Amino acid sequence: NAGVTQTPKFQVLKTGQSMTLQCAQDMNHNSMYWYRQDPGMGLRLIYYSASEGTTDKGEVPNGYNVSRLNKREFSLRLESAAPSQTSVYFCASSEAGFQGGNYNEQFFGPGTRLTVL
C-alpha cells in the first residue's frame, strides 16, 4: 500500500515550457487535490476533484489545468510555465469530499519540487 505517489520528485523548467505532474493513490479514495506550498506560506489549493469525473477550481487555479484520469489518478498541467510557478506541489487524497458532516483526513504525497527559470 503505497498511499499517494507523485512523479517527478524534482523538475527544472525554462519559462514557457509545459509539463504534467502525475499523482496516483491506491487507497480507493474518491477525492483528490493539488496544492502548492511556497516559503512562509501555507498550502494553497489549486484544484480539486471531489469524485471521479469532476474537477473544481481552488484558491489559485490560474496557469494550471487538471485531469482526473480515473479514480486513482489526478494530474496537474502547466501549459506555459512561469517563474512565479516555482514551488513545491503536493497532491492529496481523502475518502470523500468536502461536503457532508464527517471530516475526511487528507493524505499527502511526497511532493514535487519545481523550479522555473
Measured from the CB atom, the residue of 40 and 53 that comes closer to other proteins is: 40
Contact 91, 6 (CB under 8 A): yes
Residues 19-78 that bind other proteins (CB under 8 A): 40-45, 48, 50, 56-59
Sorted by sequence, the CB contacts under 8 Å of residue 25 that are 6+ apart come out as 3, 4, 5, 32, 72, 91, 93, 107, 109
Q: Please, what is the minimum distance in Å from the beta carbon of residue 113 to other proteins?
A: 9
Q: Which residues bind other proteins (CB under 8 A)?
A: 40-45, 48, 50, 56-59, 90, 97-99, 101, 103, 105-111
